[in-house]
Every structure is written in C-alpha cells, then in structure tokens.
C-alpha cells in the first residue's frame, strides 16, 4: 500500500515527487512511457518566465512568480542547468506599446518588483540587443527571466526523488481506478497498485484520468507548437529571450538562446485533435522563420540544425486546475505555459493540499537534496577530440560534436532511472544533438549500451516509447523555394 501515487512523470509530477520525498511516506510514480520527460516536458521553450504575462489573480500568475524565485536553489542542488538571462517583449507600433504598458502593470500586480522590470525604448533596446530589428520602438525588459533544460530538470528531479525513497514504475499506463473505502486500486497495463492518495499529473491525458474518477468538469485541448533549433554556439547572436507582444493565442514566436548555446525559434500554437501528433510541417516552419525574422532579421538559415514539436495540455478552464477534486484524489491538470516555471511552486501547493486533506507529513532527517550533474563541460579543441575518439578507456569520446565521453554515457545508464534507448541517453548527455545528429555516434552509443546493460546492439531502440518522432536533421534545401531570404 502506497501513501501517495503520482500519475505522470513530466516536470510537474517529478517536482511533486521530489518535494514529497522530504517526508516519511511511501510514494510511487506511474509513467506510461519507458522514460520520464517524454511529453510536453521534453518539447517546450525551456523558458523560466518572469511573472508578467499571466493574468493577475490566476493560479498561473501566482505560481509562476513563486516558481521563478525557486530556480537558483533548485539548480544549485540538482545541477540540471539554469541561467538568468532576462527577456525583451518587443513592440513595433502604438498598439504594441499599449499592450506592453498593460503587461508592465500586470507584472507589478503579480508581485514583480519595479527594479526587476521596466519599459525601454529603441536606443536602449539596440544597445542591449544589437541584432534585433531596427523597426523596434518599445520593449518590456524583464530581468528575472531565465533559460533551462526542461528534460534535464525533470530527470534530475526524479533521480533525486528516487534517491530519497520514491519508487518509479515505467511502462505502466493507467487503465482504470477503483475506489475501496479508504484506498484506491490503480490498474495499469502491467500490474495493479493500492494507494491512499492519487495525484493526477498526466499532462495531456489528465482529463482521461479525471474521467476515470467520474470528475468531468474540464477537458484538455491539445495545442501543438513547432520549433526550429540552430547550431550550438549560434545562440550568442542574442543575449536574452526575445518575445513579440503576445496575442490571445499565446506569447507568440520567440527567439532565444538555449542553455547549451543553440538558437531556438518558435513555437506556433495549433489546436490539435491528436494528443500524440508531434510531427512538423514545412508551412508551419516557414511561418515560424518569417515571424522570428520580424524580431531578429538576420537569422542565418545555413545554421538550421533540426525541428521538433510538442503538445501543450491547454485546459478548457483557462487556468491551472490544482485541487482535491474528490476525497484523496488531487487533480494537477491543464499545466500549460508557464507550467515549467511554476512546477516547483505547484509541488509546494500540492503538499499543502495533502496536509489539509489529512495526510500525516513527518520530515525525514536524512533527506539528501543533492544530485550531481551528468554532463561535464569540456574545453577541448577538435584536434584533442579526434585524439580521444579511439581511446581504450572511459575517457574515450563517443559523440564528437557534443564532446560526450564514454564515462558520461555509463553514468547516465547506471543512475536511478532505468534507461536503454538512444533517445534516453541523448536527453541526459546531449549525445546525437550536434551537427551530424547522430550519424557518427549512434553506433558507438549502442556499443556502450550493449556493454553496460548486456543488450544485443540490434535490440537497442533509438527512441523511447511514447516519446514522439525523433527530430531529423534539417537540410538547407528544406527551405528552398519558400520565399525566405537565405543569408
């Protein structure tokens, strides 16, 4: 019998599990995929938002503001990668300026301090960001915005949770839930689990889990967003996250450096009936490029690396749904943007709900908050890398583009979360994320996996189950005849 079972191992479920692992409880995470962070937590913008965009008075606004302030300590403990960059919301006309003024006022209502946010004009904008469009007239400068690696954060949270006693059951899709007095019985495709409390953090499928309990007061509208990633190092053409003035559909097409130094543009926002459709299409990518160039005109398409998409769990209610919807059943649903930013604060809120519901919370004396990094940054020349490609020890470089060593891959394979796919190794080490997109290193990674896990190389999957389509390398010819200027 478990005290608490969390359904879903995205960033929200992971944050809740890690927060609950501070207490003397028997906790279980159920995840239908064969790895954590295979849904929206894998494919999003990786922005730690500043608390100005969400409407004052909503859960989104409060939890975004609170979550933002928790990132530095979390990263100090878990080493998933976080950097405060600041952001600019660009305006090009009077209407944009009016909306930017509204954002500024909303930020102050949400708790953002005056020294953390300001409205600036063309001269200062171009001083801060010389590569943005000279057509810009005004911008909202939010200094507390940051960037992170969302899948690495999710992995780190779950590793820490398991280290502190939480159990993780992968490849366990919830089929039905039965209520038996003071406990629930969860039936999955693989087993059954008895639990006193259930936390529904199932992302785009959170409505499906809620319906199993007879709770029908919301539904999830899947909204697909597509992205384009550019070469590592090209993220330095800008210093901050660059937004355009938001519309009813969202924060619009952004241009941002990633934590690891790539440039990323996107996402669009398409209503989608298929919760598992993570394909990309040429017309949408064309739109993303043209719109991004409104902010940063000289984006070099020769540096395009790959494209991908993610599905956001947009709630019919218009706000996060975080409540004890039925006795000992807590919905944590509709966690779209700024869900990544809010996730640490959501976890705190859920713990308080559990406490009020009657769950006895006694803090552990031996809780260990620390989780060491997997990725070891290296300052190697390509000549040094080439020399290390055929070493006969664990310092051997397996992925030359990202300079990933055999030692790092072994580390990823032997941590708390059991993994075996190329995709899972990729999320933890960045192997295959470089210029060749795995053409060189996939056979080498398979060899290491085979050695460490004793799996025949031809039985090692390239992608995780349920993780969507692996992004493919994008050739410049992909954008020919689209009417897009090539630099």
Instruction: Please report the DSSP string for 287-332 in residue order.
Output: HHHHHHHHHSTT--GGGEEEEEEEEEEEETTSS-EEEEEETTEEEE
Instruction: Please report the DSSP string for 10-60 in residue order.
Output: SHHHHHHHHHHTTBS--EEEE-SSSSSS-STTTSS--EE--SSSSPTTSHH
CATH code at 304? 3.30.9.10
pLDDT exceeds 50 at position 483: no
pLDDT digits (tens, 9 = 90+) for 226-280: 999 999 999 999 999 999 998 765 567 999 999 999 999 999 988 877 888 889 9
If DSSP codes are grouped into helix, strand and coil, which group holds residue 432? coil
Instruction: Please report the DSSP string for 122-187 in residue order.
Output: HHHHHHH-TTS-TT--EEEEETT-EEE-HHHHHHHHHHHHHHTT-EEE-S--EEEEEEETTEEEEE
Output the pTM of the full model: 0.95
Please check whether residues 294 and 443 belong to one and the same domain. no
Please check whether residues 284 and 389 belong to one and the same domain. no
Range of the structural domain that residue 445 is part of: 382-414+422-459
352 burial class (0-12, 13-18, 19+ CB within 10 angstroms)? exposed
- Whole-number Å distance between alpha carbons of 21 and 467: 26
Please check whether residues 229 and 130 belong to one and the same domain. yes
N-terminal to C-terminal alpha carbon distance within the chain: 61
pLDDT exceeds 50 at position 127: yes
Give me the pLDDT at residue 246, please: 86
Please check whether residues 139 and 248 belong to one and the same domain. yes
Given 315, 339, 354, which residue is the final one in a domain? 315
Q: φ, ψ for residue 90 (rounded to 5)?
A: -85, 140
- Specify the pairing of strand 138-142 against strand 167-169: unpaired
Give the chain's domain count.
2
Please give the share of the chain, as a percent, with pLDDT higher than 70: 94
pLDDT exceeds 50 at position 472: no
Q: Is residue 266 part of a domain?
A: yes
- Whole-number Å distance between alpha carbons of 264 and 266: 7
Please check whether residues 139 and 227 belong to one and the same domain. yes
Element (H, E) at 65: helix 59-68
Mean of all residue pLDDT scores within the chain: 94
pLDDT exceeds 60 at position 466: no
Average pLDDT over residues 184-207: 98
Please check whether residues 227 and 116 belong to one and the same domain. yes
pLDDT exceeds 90 at position 432: yes
pLDDT exceeds 90 at position 475: no
Q: Is residue 386 part of a domain?
A: yes
Please check whether residues 129 and 233 belong to one and the same domain. yes
Average pLDDT over residues 396-421: 97
- What the block records as the tokens of 78 is 């878990």
Lowest-confidence pick of 113-122, 269-278, 312-321 = 269-278
Given 270, 298, 315, which residue is the final one in a domain? 315
Please check whether residues 253 and 387 belong to one and the same domain. no
Under a CB-based contact definition with an 8 Å cutoff, are residues 234 and 247 in contact?
Answer: no
- Whole-number Å distance between alpha carbons of 29 and 172: 10
Active-site option among 49, 56, 231, 260: 49
Average pLDDT over residues 189-214: 98
Please check whether residues 306 and 387 belong to one and the same domain. no
Q: Is residue 37 part of a domain?
A: no
Please check whether residues 246 and 130 belong to one and the same domain. yes
Three-point CA angle 254, 260, 266, nearest 5°: 20
Please check whether residues 238 and 120 belong to one and the same domain. yes
pLDDT exceeds 90 at position 360: yes
Give me the pLDDT at residue 236, please: 97
CATH code at 386? 1.10.10.1100
Q: Is residue 70 part of a domain?
A: no
Give me the pLDDT at residue 382, please: 86
Please check whether residues 271 and 400 belong to one and the same domain. no
Q: Is residue 108 part of a domain?
A: yes
pLDDT exceeds 50 at position 295: yes
Q: Is residue 131 part of a domain?
A: yes
- Whole-number Å distance between alpha carbons of 188 and 32: 9
Given 269, 292, 315, which residue is the final one in a domain? 315
Under a CB-based contact definition with an 8 Å cutoff, are residues 416 and 371 in contact?
Answer: no
Give me the pLDDT at residue 194, please: 98
pLDDT exceeds 70 at position 335: yes
49 part of the active site: yes
pLDDT exceeds 50 at position 485: no
Q: Is residue 188 part of a domain?
A: no
Q: Is residue 264 part of a domain?
A: yes
């Amino acid at each position: 019998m478990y005290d608490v079972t969390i359904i879903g191992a995205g960033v929200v479920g992971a944050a809740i599990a890690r927060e609950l692992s501070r207490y003397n409880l028997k906790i279980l995470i159920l995840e239908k995929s064969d790895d954590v962070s295979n849904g929206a937590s894998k494919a999003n913008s990786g922005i730690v938002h500043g608390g100005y965009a969400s409407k004052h008075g909503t859960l989104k606004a409060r939890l975004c503001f609170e979550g933002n302030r928790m990132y530095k300590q979390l990263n100090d403990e878990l080493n998933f990668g976080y950097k405060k960059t600041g952001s600019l919301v660009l305006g090009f006309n009077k209407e944009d300026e009016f909306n930017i003024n509204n954002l500024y006022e909303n930020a102050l209502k949400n708790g953002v301090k005056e020294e953390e946010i300001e409205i600036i004009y063309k001269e200062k904008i171009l001083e801060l960001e010389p590569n943005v469009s000279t057509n810009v007239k005004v911008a909202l400068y939010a200094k507390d915005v940051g960037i992170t690696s969302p899948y690495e954060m999710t992995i780190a949270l779950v590793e820490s949770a398991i280290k502190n006693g939480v159990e993780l059951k992968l490849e366990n899709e919830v089929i039905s839930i039965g209520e038996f007095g003071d406990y629930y019985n969860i039936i999955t495709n693989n087993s059954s689990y008895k639990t006193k409390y259930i936390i529904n953090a199932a992302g785009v499928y959170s409505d499906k889990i809620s319906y199993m309990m007879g709770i029908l007061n919301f539904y999830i509208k899947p909204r697909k967003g597509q992205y384009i990633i550019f070469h590592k190092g090209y993220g330095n053409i800008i210093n901050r996250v660059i937004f355009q003035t938001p519309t009813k559909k969202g924060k619009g097409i952004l241009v941002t450096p990633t934590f690891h130094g790539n440039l990323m543009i996107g996402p669009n926002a398409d209503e989608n009936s298929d919760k598992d459709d993570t394909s990309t299409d040429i017309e949408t990518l064309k739109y993303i490029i043209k719109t991004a160039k409104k902010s940063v005109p000289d984006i070099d398409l020769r540096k395009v690396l790959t494209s991908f998409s993610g599905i956001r769990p947009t709630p019919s209610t218009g706000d996060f749904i975080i409540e004890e919807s039925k006795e000992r059943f807590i919905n944590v649903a509709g966690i779209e943007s700024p869900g990544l930013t809010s996730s640490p604060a959501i976890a705190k809120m859920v713990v308080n709900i559990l406490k009020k519901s009657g769950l006895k919370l006694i803090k552990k004396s031996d809780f260990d908050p620390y989780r060491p990094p997997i990725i070891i940054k290296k300052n190697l020349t390509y000549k040094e890398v080439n020399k290390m490609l055929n070493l006969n020890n664990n310092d051997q470089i397996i992925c030359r583009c990202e300079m990933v060593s055999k030692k790092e891959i072994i580390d990823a394979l032997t941590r708390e979360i059991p993994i075996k796919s190329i995709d899972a190794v990729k999320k933890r080490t960045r192997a295959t994320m470089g210029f060749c997109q795995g053409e060189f290193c996939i056979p080498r990674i398979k060899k290491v996996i085979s050695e460490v896990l004793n799996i025949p190389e031809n039985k090692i999957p390239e992608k995780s189950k349920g993780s969507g389509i692996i992004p493919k390398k994008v050739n410049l010819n992909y954008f020919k005849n689209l009417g897009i200027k090539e630099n």
